[in-house]
Amino acid sequence: MAKISASIITIGDELLIGQVVDTNSAWMAQELNKTGIWVKRRVAVGDDWNSIWQALDEESRESQVILITGGLGPTADDITKDLLCKYFDGKLVVDEAALANVRHIFERILKRPMIERNLKQAEVPDVCTVIQNKRGTAPGMWFEKNEKIFVSMPGVPYEMKGMMEEVIGRLATRFVLPYIAHRTLLTAGVGESFLAEHILEYENALPENVRLAYLPNYGMVRLRLTATGNEKDATDSLLEEKFNELKQMVSEWIVADTDIPIGQAVGNLLKKTGKTVSTAESCTGGYIAHLITSIQGSSNYFKGSIVSYSNETKVNLLHVNETTLATIGAVSEETVRQMIQGALIVLRTDLAVATSGIMGPDGGSEDKPVGTVWIAVGDRSKIVSRKFYFRFNRERNIELTATNALNMLRQFIAGT
């Protein structure tokens, strides 16, 4: 079976001056992978005629499928549609379904007057198959040339995602695709190199069609096994076998045996045990609550949070002792333990998490330099507290504190 590869071309000056982070490509790659199409290259070019043209030429030499996002907006810097029209020798015609969609969006949803350049969004090259955009005004376009498939979609992530289902469906009927499966283990508390050494023999003995990757991220390492095969059942069972071997070898560091956010891993445990949780956050400023509530259904186990960003709030709402704050200070073991006690009573939950630290860039001292953090987790009978020292920037220090707090919560619930 031929391996079908794809290239992703993202278009837009905003990508090249770095004003926008490209999240589309990663999402599209995941979707392509699930369906057995392998992404070979991703290229970003500006809103520039020659650069786009050249990218189309080059990527169609590399891959059978070329997915393009961006450059379809209504403004003058968006040249992609005109270029595609020329590239595929077509002429622009109004697509009636796309026009009805543009009208609908302006009249019913935006309730704004529609102007000429909005109507022009309903024009498409007469040589393409239109992929309707249910979430915006710019239609998608599917072209074929020399056995290659090109699909152009808007750069707005929500609109592109709305179209990908149809695109993936059409691609799946056009190719005989190999079967690709992934399993991912989320680990914490162990370094990439140490893990690699620990499972060296296992890795070297993996069959040809199973591959292991290490994906370090914010104090955690994800281990991803990928199996490729022509036959689903055999590939799945081989992957399952190798994945189970891996799990046994790294069992002490496993956070989850699926690729989920740590907030989801903790949420699953809370649901299973029927316990509720609250957070009392100083330095994380609500970020732990955000990670917990990003998960659908979190209202079943999360009751709320007190973000105590001043000593006054710590005293008034969490009943932290004023003397503790005045003598030992807010960034201390005593404070986070008292914050836990306060949160358990005030927010009436079975469990609580508390953080207090100095995220930077200012606010450090010789005793407590920037990056010093105390985290506590506990219930009515036991509180566990731990000091950390992160040496990164504000954003990453907040992220690391939250990740470690959630991992401590997970360990506390699991009793490890």
Residue ranges in 72-101 that form contacts with a copy of itself under rule CB under 8 A: 73-77
Distance CA 395, CA 305 (A): 20
User: How are strands ordered across the β-sheet holding 220-229?
Assistant: 210-217, 220-229, 179-188, 254-256
Question: Which residues are 129's β-sheet partners?
Answer: 142
Choose between 147 and 197: whose C-beta lies nearer to a copy of itself.
Answer: 197
Binding-site size for a copy of itself (CB under 8 A) equals 106
Per the CB < 8 A criterion, the answer to whether 406 and 289 are in contact is no
Piece in contact with a copy of itself (CB under 8 A), picked from 50-58, 243-251, 375-383, 403-411? 50-58
CB of 289 to a copy of itself, least distance (A): 3
Rule CB under 8 A: is residue 194 a binding residue for a copy of itself?
Answer: yes
Enumerate residues 333-352 that contact a copy of itself by CB under 8 A: 346-348
- If one counts every other C-beta atom within 10 angstroms of the C-beta of residue 348, the result is 11
Task: Name the residue type at position 245.
Answer: E
CB of 135 to a copy of itself, least distance (A): 8
CB of 181 to a copy of itself, least distance (A): 12
Distance CA 82, CA 125 (A): 8
Choose between 362 and 367: whose C-beta lies nearer to a copy of itself.
Answer: 362
Distance CA 349, CA 369 (A): 33
CB of 27 to a copy of itself, least distance (A): 6
Rule CB under 8 A: is residue 310 a binding residue for a copy of itself?
Answer: yes
Rule CB under 8 A: is residue 205 a binding residue for a copy of itself?
Answer: no
Piece in contact with a copy of itself (CB under 8 A), picked from 89-97, 170-178, 194-202, 242-250? 194-202
CB of 43 to a copy of itself, least distance (A): 5
Select the residue interacting with a copy of itself from 89, 92, 309, 414 (CB under 8 A): 309
Select the residue interacting with a copy of itself from 37, 45, 227, 325 (CB under 8 A): 45
Enumerate residues 117-156 that contact a copy of itself by CB under 8 A: 117-118, 156
Choose between 5 and 90: whose C-beta lies nearer to a copy of itself.
Answer: 5
Select the residue interacting with a copy of itself from 169, 189, 361, 369 (CB under 8 A): 361
Rule CB under 8 A: is residue 29 a binding residue for a copy of itself?
Answer: yes
Piece in contact with a copy of itself (CB under 8 A), picked from 83-91, 108-116, 232-240, 266-274? 108-116
Distance CA 172, CA 297 (A): 33
Select the residue interacting with a copy of itself from 103, 179, 245, 304 (CB under 8 A): 304
Piece in contact with a copy of itself (CB under 8 A), picked from 39-47, 234-242, 244-252, 319-327? 39-47
Distance CA 329, CA 323 (A): 9
Task: Name the residue type at position 16.
Answer: L
**CB contact burial 168-195 (16+ within 10 A = b; e otherwise):** eeebeeebebbbbbbbbbbbbeeeeeeb
Enumerate residues 266-295 that contact a copy of itself by CB under 8 A: 279, 281, 284-290, 292-294
Distance CA 63, CA 55 (A): 12
Task: Enter the tokens of residue 38.
Answer: 């392998």
Choose between 90 and 393: whose C-beta lies nearer to a copy of itself.
Answer: 393
**CB contact burial 119-142 (16+ within 10 A = b; e otherwise):** bebbbbbebbebbebeebbbbbbb
Rule CB under 8 A: is residue 305 a binding residue for a copy of itself?
Answer: yes
* Alpha carbon of residue 356 to chain centroid: 26
Distance CA 197, CA 171 (A): 40
Per the CB < 8 A criterion, the answer to whether 8 and 43 are in contact is yes
